[in-house]
Structure 1
Amino acid sequence: MLATASHPVPLGSSPEVGLSSAAVSALAQFMADSQALEEMAAAYTAADNLSADKEWSMDAFPELWGMSQFWNDENTARKLARECVSQAKGGTIVLISSPSVFLMLKKMGVPNKLLLLEYDSRFSVFPEFRFYDFARPLSLGGMKEQAAVVLVDPPYVNAECFSKAAQTTRALSGPDTKIIACTGWVVRHCAAETLGVKMINFRPGHAGGLATPFRAYVNYESKNPSFMYDPDPEDGDNDGTAFAGAGGIGTDA
C-alpha cells in the first residue's frame, strides 16, 4: 500500500535538499580522484599499443594529472642530453625522474649505457627502465651502478622530495660522477647542501609551460657556456625568463 504524506508538497514546488560542507568536500575529492584515474587509464591504454622499437615521442606519454609530471620541451631535452654525453665520456648515464632526456638520448642513438629510474610504469616498455619511488630512495632492487653522469629531476619542487632524490643520486655516484640537477630556484640551497651542486646559466623549459622559476645545477666545471656557473644565483630570476614555456634558455646555440 502506498503511504501518503500528511503534509503534501504544494504543486510546483520541491523540498530543499542540501549537503553538509564535509559531504561537499568529499564529493569534490571523489570527482578529482575519478578524473585522475580516467586520465591514467587512457594514458596506459595508449602506451599498450606502442612498442620500444618505434620512433618514440613524448607525445606517446601524456603528462598525468596526479603525478606532477612536467615534461621538458624538446630543446631542453636535447641540450641536457648533449651535456650528459659530453660529460659521461662513454660511461653510464642514469636518468632519475627524467624520461624526456632519456627518450632524447635513445633517439640520438648514443653508445652509453642508459638507466631510467622512474615511477611511471608506462616507460617499462624500455629495457633500461627501473621502477623508482623517491619516497623509498634507497630501494633500488640491488642495483649498484656507479654512474659517470646522473641527471636528477625530482617530480615535486620542495626540499623533502629533492633530499630523497639526492640520496638516490649519491648511492649511484662515485668520486668522479658528474651530477646535473633540475629543480626550482626555491630549492637551490637544498640542492647545494645535499649534492654539492651550483646553479648554472641554463634554464630548463617545459613543453606545457610551468609558472615556477626552474633552474639547473651541476657539481663540475663545464666548457659549455650554458652549463657554466651562474655568477649571480641569488637574483631570483627577476628578468622573468625562467617562466618561458619552452626553449631551454641558455647562452649557446
Structure 2
Amino acid sequence: MDQLNPFLARHKENADFNQYWYSKATIGFLVSECEQFGNKFDQKFAKDPNFVFYDFNKPEDISKEFEKYFDMVVIDPPFITREVWEKYSEAAKFLVKDGGKILLSTIDENEPFIMELLGASKRAFRPSIPNLVYQYSLYSNYDSEGLNNKNPEIPEFD
C-alpha cells in the first residue's frame, strides 16, 4: 500500500504515539462528510497557511477569536480515556457554533460518556484503519445518510 500512497511512504505509522492511518476509502468518506457542512470559505485566509497549534491538555489556551467560530469540529484523537475526552469536549464546545456539527472517532467502550459529554451518537459507518488492532467507531451529534451506512471495508461480525 505504501507504494500507492506517497504519504504512507513518507510517514510510517507509530504505535508508540498511537498514530495509525485511515484507509484511502475511509479518508474519502470523511472528506465528503465534512464537505457537506464546511462549504463556507472565508477568502481573507486564502494565502495564509493558518496553522494554529493546539495542545489538548490546555483547551483554555485556545484563542478567543475561535470561540463559536466553526460550523463543524472533527475530533480524531490519539488518546481516548474519559479524562482526555473531557478536555476534547471542552475544546469542541468552545470552537463549534451553536447548532454546529461534531464528528469524532473513538472506541465502542466510550459510547456512554461520548453521549454525555458531546451529545454524539454512534453511527453505522466505521472507519477502516488497516494496521490498528482494535476497531474505532464514528460518532456525531447530527444525523447523516452517509454515516447511517456501513463501511464495506469493515467485515461483519456475529
TM-score bracket, normalised by the shorter chain, equals 0.7 to 0.9
**What TM-score, normalized by structure 2, do the two folds share?**
0.78
Q: 2:141 aligns with which of 219, 229, 234?
A: 219
Aligned partner of 2:108 in structure 1 is 185
* 1:63 equivalent in structure 2: 13
Q: In 2, are the aligned partners of 1:71 and 1:206 still within 8 Å (CA)?
A: yes
d(CA) in 1 for partners of 2:149 and 2:60?
A: 30
Q: Partner amino acid for 2:40?
A: G
Match in the other structure for 2:85: 162
What is the RMSD of the two structures over their aligned residues, measured on CA atoms? 3.1
1:192: how far off? 0.5
In the TM superposition, residue 58 of structure 1 has moved relative to its aligned partner by 4.4
Classify the secondary structure of the residue corresponding to 2:61: coil
Secondary structure, in 3 states, of the residue corresponding to 2:66? coil
Q: Which residue of 2 aligns with 1:144?
A: 66
Structure 1: segments with no counterpart, 5+ residues: 1-54, 93-110, 115-125, 231-240
Q: In the superposition, relative to structure 1, how do residues 229 and 162 fare at CA in structure 2: closer, same or farther (>3 Å)?
A: farther
From 52, 57, 67, give the equivalent of 1:130: 52
Q: CA deviation at 1:176?
A: 2.2
TM-score by length of 1: 0.51
Deviation track 1:180-204 (CA, whole Å, cap 9, x = no partner) reads 0111111111111111001100111
Q: How many residues align?
A: 147
Percent identity reads 25
1:85-100 matches, within 5 Å, as 85-88=35-38, 90-91=39-40
The aligned residue for residue 196 of structure 1 is 119
C-alpha change, 1:186 and 1:147, in structure 2 (3 Å) is same
Runs of 4+ in 1 over 4 A off after TM superposition: none
1:80 — aligned with what?
30
Name the counterpart of 2:148.
228
SS in 2 for 1:81: helix
The CA deviation string for residues 74-129 of structure 1, in whole angstroms up to 9 with x for no partner, is: 111110110000133x136xxxxxxxxxxxxxxxxxx9x89xxxxxxxxxxx9243
Distance 1:190 1:157, change over 3 A: same
Write the distance in 1 (CA, Å) between the matches of 2:126 and 2:21. 14
Conserved in 2, the CA contact under 8 Å of 1:203 and 1:216?
Answer: yes
Work out the CA distance in 1 between the residues paired with 2:8 and 2:96.
Answer: 28
Cα distance change of structure 1 residues 211 and 66 upon mapping to structure 2, 3 Å threshold:
closer
Question: What stretches of structure 2 of length at least 5 have no aligned partner?
Answer: none
Q: More relative contact order in 1 or in 2 (CA 8 Å, sep 6+)?
A: 2
* Pair member with larger Rg: 1
Shift of the alpha carbon at 1:205?
1.3
Distance 2:110 2:65 in 1: 28
Cα deviation, residue 143, structure 1:
4.2
Contact 1:191–1:197, Cα closer than 8 Å, also in 2: yes
Q: What letter corresponds to residue 24 of structure 2 in structure 1?
A: E
Q: Which amino acid aligns with 1:82?
A: S
